[in-house]
Amino acid sequence: MVALLTQQQAEALQGVEVVTDNFFNPIQDADDNWIISLEEVNQCSIEWVKQLPQIEYNPKQFTLPI
Amino acid sequence: MYGYGGKLVIQSGGSTIDSDAEAFLLAASITDATITTAVNDLVVGLKTNYLWNKMRALYPFVGGTATTHKFNLKDPRDLDAAYRLTFFGGITHSATGADPNGTTGYADTHIYPNYFGLSDIHLSFYSRENTHSGGDDFDIGTVTGAVNRFWLSSGLSNTNSPTSGLGSVLASSTGSTDGFFVGSLTGTALINNTNKLYKNGSLLATSVSSMSITNNASIALFRANGIDDGYSNRECAFASIGLGLSDADVTALNTLVQAFNTTLSRNV
């Protein structure tokens, strides 16, 4: 499971610390949803982040350059 | 002390500590006696074995927080230019190391591969876990093209295959992903250099490799920058980036890193 963000929420978390010296890293899943991990949700102290809905994680597939 | 090129500082209790170890411990605000001993022994050992000057970055992951884990032992200034780590995403920081979640967690070293010569590089990673995130996962590196590879994985895929990509890809047979892994490229030319992969000091595989680094992505821990993917979920208790290492260098480094993590009671 991961936490679902809107694009605006993802942009708002850019450069914001989860804890001191560890920053949020919003990424997009295979369905282009913006998400953060539950570790980020649980470690931070931002109330609206803790209220985010959770969805199943569907990772993007990548191709390693051969 | 034969081969030792460090400066010793006398502490208030009368014990001596290497000046570079002391600088790191001061930067990280670490006073714990066990960590102090482990870091000092590591630094002294690296210098005694002529490895210190081959290192550009040493990440010992001591102190248990992102703030203590970010410092580069080789240059403990709190600056990107000193190759401190910047952590992103889901990472659990504890006394045993930095444990990424395999989904969003990684660290930027701020080191670019073109810092190195194309035939003289190494990457090392002490993995405390025999696990996979579910796909190809990179413990350390950057990838921007077929010959623009600069990475090390203790298990690239679910086949548990330790793999390095220093120019060409070098993979070993299946095994576990916990242990101390080193990928090293040595040579004198742009082509036909010696690419070697080690685990716990033993040679796993060797090949001839050519590099073509025009890489504009920095080296990451726990994923491959450049593709910005391949997240690993393996806890790290030591990592280094530096010049290429000989077989004897790798043997010495392995002995030092194993002793370091044994002193900290987190060896695997």
Global ipTM:
0.96
For residues B221 and B106, give the distance between their C-alpha atoms in angstroms, rounded to a whole number: 6
Strand partners, A23: A17, B88
Q: For residue B133, give the chain A residue with the closest CA.
A: A59
**A60 lies in a domain?**
no
The pLDDT value recorded for residue B190 is: 64
Cα of B157 to nearest chain A Cα, Å:
12
Locate A1 and state its tokens: 């499971």
- Is B134 in Cβ contact with A27 (below 8 Å)? no
Query: Of B112, B174, B119, B180, which Cα lies nearest the Cα of B141?
Result: B112
The pLDDT value recorded for residue B4 is: 73
**A64 lies in a domain?**
no
For residues A24 and A2, give the distance between their C-alpha atoms in angstroms, rounded to a whole number: 13
Domain count of the fold of chain A: 1
**B249 lies in a domain?**
yes
**B17 lies in a domain?**
no
**A62 lies in a domain?**
no
**B93 lies in a domain?**
yes
Q: What is the enclosing helix (H) or strand (E) of B108?
A: strand B106-108
Which amino acid is present at B4? Y
**B255 lies in a domain?**
yes
DSSP one-letter code for B257:
H
CB nearest A21 (choices: B70, B143, B229) = B70
Locate A56 and state its tokens: 């199943």
**A51 lies in a domain?**
yes
Ranges in chain B, pLDDT < 70? 1-3, 10-14, 117-118, 146-147, 158-160, 174, 189-191, 211-215
The pLDDT value recorded for residue B268 is: 96
Strand segments (E) across B80-218: 86-88, 91-94, 97-100, 106-108, 121-127, 140-143, 149-153, 163-166, 168-171, 179-186, 193-199, 202-209
Write the burial class of residue B134 (CB in 10 Å: 0-12 exposed, 13-18 middle, 19+ buried): middle
**B133 lies in a domain?**
yes
Beta pairing class for B86-88 and A22-23: parallel
Mean pLDDT, rounded, of chain B: 89
**A6 lies in a domain?**
yes
- Is A61 in Cβ contact with B89 (below 8 Å)? no
Average pLDDT over residues A41-57: 97
CATH code where residue B221 lies: 2.60.120.200
Cα of B105 to nearest chain A Cα, Å:
7
Residue-range definition of the domain harbouring residue A11? 2-55
**B99 lies in a domain?**
yes
3-state secondary structure of B243: coil
Taking each helix axis from N to C terminus, what angle separates B247-263 and B33-48, rounded to the nearest 10 degrees?
170
pLDDT in tens, B143-188: 877 667 788 888 887 666 777 777 777 778 767 899 999 999 887 7
Find all residues with CB under 8 Å of B44, minimum gap 6, and list them: B1, B4, B6, B18, B21
CB atoms near residue B27 (< 10 Å): 19
In order of A54, B28, B267, the CA distances from A8 in angstroms are 17, 35, 43
CB nearest A62 (choices: B65, B90, B230) = B230
The pLDDT value recorded for residue A24 is: 98
Whole-model pTM: value is 0.94
**A63 lies in a domain?**
no
CB nearest B88 (choices: A25, A43, A57) = A25
The pLDDT value recorded for residue B75 is: 98
The pLDDT value recorded for residue B137 is: 87
**A33 lies in a domain?**
yes
Residues of B with CB under 8 A from a CB of A: 65-67, 70, 86-93, 101, 103-106, 134-136, 143-146, 148-149, 227, 229-230
**A14 lies in a domain?**
yes
Domain count of the fold of chain B: 1
Residue written as tokens 């679910």? Answer: B158
Residue-range definition of the domain harbouring residue B93? 55-263
For residues A26 and A37, give the distance between their C-alpha atoms in angstroms, rounded to a whole number: 8
CB nearest A21 (choices: B66, B135, B144) = B66
For residues B138 and B241, give the distance between their C-alpha atoms in angstroms, rounded to a whole number: 15
Question: Do B88 and B106 contact (CB within 8 A), yes or no?
Answer: yes
The pLDDT value recorded for residue B97 is: 98
